[in-house]
C-alpha cells in the first residue's frame, strides 16, 4: 500500500535515484506518483496520475542531494494529480509523503482551517505538512516538529518528510514499513528493500514507534513518544539485485511462476533442528492456529490437510482478519503460526497482537526477512523465495506450502521423507515447466478467454487450490472465477452451469479421485466444457493438462498450471498481470 522512497547524501542525482528506486516498488501502488527534490530555487514537486514506470527518469537528472518520492494506492480522495503525494506545507519548505491513514485527519483539518490553512487535496495526508509547519512556527527544529506533529496523529502510518532550509530528511513509523539503507554515499529510506538494493545491502530497520533523522552525513534513531535516542544495529541483506529483476521475461508474474523450478528447493533448505523444534512446539501446544490473508490463507488451508493426512494432527485455520474472534480459544500454551509473503499485512500483525495479549507464542513463516511480522513473532522460518514483485502471489504460495508440508512430516517424525518428497517434487516441477507446457496452457486460455464466468472444483487439499486458482484468475484477468469443493456444487452452484461454461477439475491420484470424477461428471452432464488438471487422462475431460504425480505434495504441483492459466488469460485479454486494477501488494491497512 503506497511506496515511499527518500534519499539524502553526497550524490547529486537524488531525484533520479528515488524515481528509479520507486519503479521497483510499484507493486505497492500504481494509481499515481510524485517526487519532491531540493533544488537551489526551493523544493520542486512533480506529480501526476498513472504509473511511475512510464515516467522518464531523465527529467530528474538535475543536481539534487535530497529527494523523496511516492507511488500511491488511493485510500482518501480519488486518483487525481492534486491527491498524489508529496504534499507541501503552506510556505512550500516542507514536503511529505505518507503510507497508511491519519484516522483523525478530519478533526485536524477543521482545526487547521481556523488557522488559515487551505486544502488543495481530499487526502488525509495534507494535514501532515501543515501540522509540522505549525510546530515549527512554535519554535521547534524540523525533526522535533515532525515528532510533535506525529504525537497528534491517530492510526497506522509511515511518514517521510524533508525540509528545505535544514536539508534534513525525517521518517517516522507507526505500523507501516520503513527501512533505512545505509550507503557509502548517504542514506536511503524506503518502504521496501528493492527500492535501494542496487545502492546498498546494509540496512537498519525502523521499528514501530520510532523515527529517524538524517542530514545525509549521519543518522539518529529516536523514540517518537519520548524523543530519546535509540541504538540500531546494521543488518546485511541476502537478496541479490538479479533476483528482483524481470530478466528476459515479459512480466514479473511469469518470471516468478518460473522461479518455482528452484524456489521450492530453497524453501525446503531449512535447518532440521529448527523444523523439529517447530514440530515439537505444535505437538505440545494447547491449540495451534494457522492464519494468513488471501493466498497465504489458502496456503494455511492446504496445510490443514497436510497436518491431517500426513501427521494426523489437528490444527485450526482462520483468515487473519477474522482471528480476533478466536481469542476466547487462546491460552498461554497456544501456538499461532502466521503466514505472510510480505510480513507487513495489517490483519496478520493484528492477529499477532491478539495472540500475544493472551500470552501465546507466535511462529512466522515469511518471505521478507526483517519484516514487521518476523520481528513481532517469537520464531521465524523464511521461505527463501526471493523478492516477489508481481502483485499476484505465486512462488511465495508454494514456498509457504512446502515449509508447512515439511513441518507436517517432522510432526510425524519423518522429516527426511518430507525433504526427499519435496526435492523430488521440485525436480518434477522443473521438468513440467517447459515451453511446450506453457504453450499448451496458452492454447487452453485462448479457448476460454471470451467467457466471463469460470468454475474450479477440487476436493481435499485441492479444495484450497481451487479457491486459490480462482483468486489468481480474478485478480489478473478480471474473469469471474469461483472455486468450490467438488461435493458442494449440487448444493447450489451447479445451477450456474450452462452449455459451454468452462469448468476446471483439479485432481490427484488419491483417495478422493473417484469422488472428484463423479463431481466433474455432474458438471459435464450440465453441458460444462471440462478441463481436467490431473496426473491421469479421463474420458470426460474436453481438455486435459497432465500434472506429475507428487503424492502429498500434489496440491503444490497442481496450482502451478493454474497460475500460468491465470497469467495467460490476463495477457490474452489485454490486461497487465503485474499490476491488477484496484490492488496493491503488501496490504498495510485493515
Ligand atoms: C493474491 C495475493 C494476496 C496476498 C495477501 C496476503 O495473489 O497476493 O491475496 O496473498 O494480500 O499478503 P502477504 O502474504 O504479504 O501477507
Question: Given this model, what pLDDT does residue 288 score?
Answer: 98
Ligand 1 centroid to 345 CA: how many Å? Answer: 8
* Rounded percentage of the chain residues whose pLDDT exceeds 90: 85
SS3 484: strand
| Residue 551 alpha carbon to ligand 1 centre in Å | 26
- Cα 170 to Cα 196, 212, 217, 506: the distances in Å are 17, 6, 13, 51
Which range has the worst mean pLDDT, 38-47, 51-60, 391-400? 51-60
Q: What value does the mean pLDDT take over residues 440-454?
A: 97
Mean pLDDT of the chain: 94
pLDDT exceeds 90 at position 129: yes
The model's pTM: 0.85
| Average pLDDT estimate for 511-532 | 95
Cβ neighbors of 82 (< 8 A, separation 6 or more) are: 120, 121, 122
Q: Quick one: pLDDT at residue 349?
A: 95
User: For residues 46 and 43, what is the distance between their CA atoms, to the nearest angstrom?
Assistant: 10
pLDDT in tens, 55-85: 888 888 888 999 999 998 888 888 899 999 9
* Mean pLDDT, rounded, for 27-53: 90
Of the listed ranges 232-241, 379-388, 551-560, the least confidently predicted one is 232-241
Cα–Cα distance for residue pair 555/544, rounded to 1 Å: 17
pLDDT for the residue 76: 83
Each residue's pLDDT tens digit, 334-373: 999 999 999 999 999 999 999 999 999 999 999 998 889 9
pLDDT of residue 490: 87
All three cell numbers of 19, joined, read 524515481
Which structural domains are found in the chain, ordered by start?
3-237 (3.60.20.10), 245-431 (3.40.50.10490), 434-577 (3.40.50.10490)
pLDDT of 459 above 90: yes
Task: Determine whether 80 is exposed, middle or buried from the number of CB atoms within 10 Å of its CB (0-12, 13-18, 19+).
Answer: middle
Region of residue 359 (left: phi > 0; alpha: psi -120 to 50; beta: else): left
pLDDT for 369: 87
CA proximity to 9, closest of 214, 180, 202, 172: 214
Looking at the CA of residue 348, tell me the nearest atom of ligand 1.
16
Q: From the CB of 345, is ligand 1 less than 6 Å away?
A: yes
Q: 418: Cβ below 6 Å to ligand 1?
A: no
Q: Beta strand pairing status for 453-458 and 502-506?
A: parallel
pLDDT at 191: 92
Q: Do 101 and 589 form a contact (C-beta atoms < 8 A)?
A: yes
| Distance between CA atoms of residues 209 and 196, nearest Å | 23
Question: Predicted confidence band at 242 (pLDDT cuts at 50, 70, 90)?
Answer: confident
State mean pLDDT over 118-146. Answer: 97
Confidence of residue 136 (pLDDT cuts 50, 70, 90): very high
For residue 1, pLDDT over 80 is answered with no
pLDDT at 352: 97
Q: What are phi and psi of 290, to 5 degrees?
A: -105, 125
Tens digits of per-residue pLDDT, 255-277?
A: 999 999 999 999 999 999 999 99
- Residue 248 has phi, psi (to 5 degrees) of -90, 0
Looking at the DSSP assignment, which residues form a beta bridge with residue 46?
Answer: 35
Atom 9 (ligand 1) nearest CA? 294
Q: For ligand 1, say whether the CB of 296 is within 6 Å of any of its atoms.
A: yes
Distance of CA 578 from the midpoint of ligand 1 (Å): 14
Contact status, residue 445 vs residue 565, Cβ threshold 8 Å? yes
Q: How does residue 216 score in pLDDT terms, banded at 50, 70 and 90?
A: very high
Ligand 1 atom at minimal distance to the Cα of residue 587: 11
Which of the four pLDDT bands, split at 50, 70 and 90, describes residue 11? very high
Does the pLDDT value for residue 528 go beyond 90? Answer: yes
d(Cα 487, Cα 200) in Å, to the nearest integer?
Answer: 53
392 lines ligand 1 (CB under 6 A): yes
**For residue 440, with 0-12 CB atoms within 10 Å meaning exposed, 13-18 middle and 19 or more buried, which class applies?**
middle
Per-residue pLDDT band at 243 (split at 50, 70, 90): confident
Residues ≥6 apart with Cβ < 8 Å to 537? 544, 546
When pLDDT is averaged across residues 13-42 and rounded to a whole number, the result is 90
pLDDT of residue 454: 97
pLDDT surpasses 80 at 310: yes
* pLDDT exceeds cutoff 80 at 435: yes
Task: Tell me what pLDDT residue 247 has.
Answer: 87
Q: What is the rounded distance in angstroms from the CA atom of residue 147 to the CA atom of residue 401?
A: 42
Eight-class DSSP state of 362:
E
- Among residues 556, 549, 572, 540, the alpha carbon closest in space to that of 441 is found at 572
Would the CA dihedral through 202, 204, 205, 206 be positive or negative? negative
**Residue 27, pLDDT above cutoff 90:** no
Q: How far is the CA of 523 from the centre of ligand 1 (A)?
A: 31
Per-residue pLDDT at 327: 87
User: How far does Cα 357 stand from its chain's mean position?
Assistant: 25
Is 589 a residue whose pLDDT tops 80?
Answer: no
298 alpha carbon – ligand 1 mean position (Å): 10
Supply the Cα-derived Rg of the chain in whole angstroms: 25
Q: What confidence score (pLDDT) does residue 548 get? A: 97
Residue-level pLDDT at 583: 78
Q: What percent of the chain has pLDDT over 70?
A: 99
In angstroms, what CA-CA distances link 424 with 186, 210, 533, 552?
46, 46, 20, 12
The model's confidence at residue 541, banded by pLDDT at 50, 70 and 90, is: very high
Query: Which of 337, 393, 474 for mutating ligand 1's site (highest number of atoms within 8 Å of CB)?
Result: 393
Helical packing angle, 294-309 and 395-411, nearest 10°: 30
Q: What's the rounded mean pLDDT across residues 424-433?
A: 96
Decide if 2 is catalytic: yes
Annotation says 261 is catalytic: no
Segments of 131-283 assigned E as strands: 157-163, 169-174, 179-183, 186-190, 202-205, 210-214, 219-223, 229-230, 235-236
Going by alpha carbons, the residue nearest to atom 7 of ligand 1 is 392
Q: How many CA atoms lie within 13 A of 199 on its CB side?
A: 31
Amino acid at each position: 500500500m503506497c511506496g515511499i522512497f527518500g534519499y539524502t547524501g553526497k550524490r547529486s542525482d537524488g531525484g533520479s535515484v528515488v524515481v528509479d528506486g520507486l519503479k521497483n516498488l510499484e507493486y505497492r501502488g500504481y494509481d499515481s506518483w510524485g517526487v519532491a527534490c531540493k533544488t537551489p530555487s526551493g523544493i520542486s514537486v512533480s506529480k501526476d496520475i498513472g504509473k511511475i514506470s512510464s515516467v522518464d527518469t531523465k527529467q530528474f537528472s538535475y543536481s539534487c542531494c535530497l529527494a523523496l518520492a511516492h507511488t500511491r494506492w488511493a485510500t482518501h480522495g480519488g486518483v487525481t494529480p492534486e491527491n498524489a503525494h508529496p504534499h507541501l506545507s503552506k510556505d512550500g519548505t516542507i514536503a511529505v509523503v505518507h503510507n497508511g491513514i491519519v484516522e483523525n485527519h478530519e478533526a485536524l483539518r477543521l482545526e487547521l482551517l481556523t488557522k488559515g490553512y487551505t486544502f488543495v487535496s481530499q487526502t488525509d495526508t495534507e494535514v501532515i505538512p501543515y501540522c509540522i509547519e505549525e510546530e515549527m512556527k512554535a519554535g521547534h527544529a524540523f525533526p522535533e516538529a515532525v515528532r510533535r506533529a506525529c504525537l497528534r496523529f491517530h492510526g497506522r502510518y509511515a511518514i517521510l518528510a524533508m525540509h528545505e532550509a535544514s536539508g534534513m530528511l525525517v521518517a517516522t513509523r507507526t505500523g507501516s514499513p520503513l527501512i533505512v539503507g545505509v550507503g557509502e554515499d548517504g542514506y536511503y529510506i524506503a518502504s521496501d528493500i528493492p527500492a535501494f538494493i542496487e545502492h546498498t545491502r546494509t540496512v537498519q530497520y525502523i521499528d514501530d514507534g520510532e523515527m529517524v533523522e538524517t542530514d545525509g552525513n549521519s543518522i539518529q534513531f529516536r523514540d517518537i513518544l519520548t524523543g530519546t535516542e535509540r541504538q540500531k544495529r546494521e543488518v546485511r541483506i541476502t537478496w541479490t539485485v538479479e533476483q528482483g529483476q524481470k530478466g528476459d521475461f515479459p512480466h514479473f508474474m511469469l518470471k516468478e511462476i518460473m522461479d518455482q523450478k528452484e524456489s521450492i528447493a530453497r524453501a525446503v533448505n531449512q535447518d532440521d533442528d529448527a523444523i523439529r523444534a517447530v514440530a515439537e512446539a505444535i505437538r505440545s501446544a494447547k491449540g495451534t492456529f494457522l492464519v494468513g490473508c488471501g493466498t497465504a490463507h489458502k496456503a494455511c488451508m492446504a496445510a490443514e490437510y497436510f497436518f491431517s493426512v500426513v501427521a494426523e494432527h489437528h490444527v485450526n485455520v482462520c483468515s487473519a482478519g477474522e482471528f480476533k474472534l478466536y481469542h476466547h480459544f487462546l491460552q498461554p500454551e497456544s501456538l499461532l503460526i502466521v503466514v505472510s509473503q510480505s510480513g507487513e499485512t495489517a490483519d496478520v500483525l493484528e492477529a499477532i497482537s491478539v495472540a500475544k495479549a493472551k500470552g501465546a507464542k507466535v511462529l512466522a513463516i515469511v518471505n521478507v526477512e526483517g519484516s514487521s511480522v518476523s520481528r513481532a513473532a517469537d520464531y521465524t522460518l523464511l521461505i527463501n523465495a526471493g523478492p516477489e514483485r508481481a502483485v499476484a502471489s505465486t512462488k511465495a504460495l508454494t514456498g509457504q506450502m512446502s515449509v508447512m508440508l515439511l513441518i507436517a512430516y517432522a510432526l510425524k517424525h519423518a522429516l527426511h521423507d518430507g525433504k526427499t518428497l519435496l526435492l523430488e517434487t521440485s525436480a518434477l516441477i522443473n521438468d513440467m515447466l517447459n515451453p511446450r507446457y506453457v504453450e499448451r496452457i496458452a492454447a487452453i486460455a485462448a479457448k476460454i478467454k471470451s467467457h466471463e464466468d469460470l468454475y474450479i472444483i477440487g476436493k481435499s487439499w485441492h479444495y484450497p487450490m481451487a479457491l486459490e486458482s480462482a483468486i489468481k484468475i480474478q485478480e489478473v484477468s478480471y474473469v469471474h472465477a469461483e472455486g468450490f469443493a467438488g461435493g458442494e456444487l449440487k448444493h447450489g452452484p451447479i445451477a450456474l452451469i450452462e452449455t459451454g461454461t468452462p469448468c476446471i477439475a483439479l485432481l490427484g491420484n488419491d483417495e478422493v479421485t473417484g469422488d472428484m470424477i463423479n463431481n466433474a461428471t455432474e458438471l459435464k452432464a450440465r453441458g460444462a466444457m471440462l478441463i481436467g488438471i490431473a496426473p491421469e487422462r479421463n474420458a470426460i475431460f474436453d481438455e486435459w493438462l497432465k500434472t506429475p504425480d507428487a503424492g502429498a505434495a500434489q496440491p503444490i504441483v497442481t496450482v502451478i498450471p493454474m497460475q500460468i492459466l491465470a497469467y495467460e488469460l490476463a495477457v490474452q485479454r489485454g490486461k497487465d498481470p503485474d499490476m491488477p486494477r484496484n490492488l496493491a501488494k503488501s496490504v498495510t491497512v485493515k
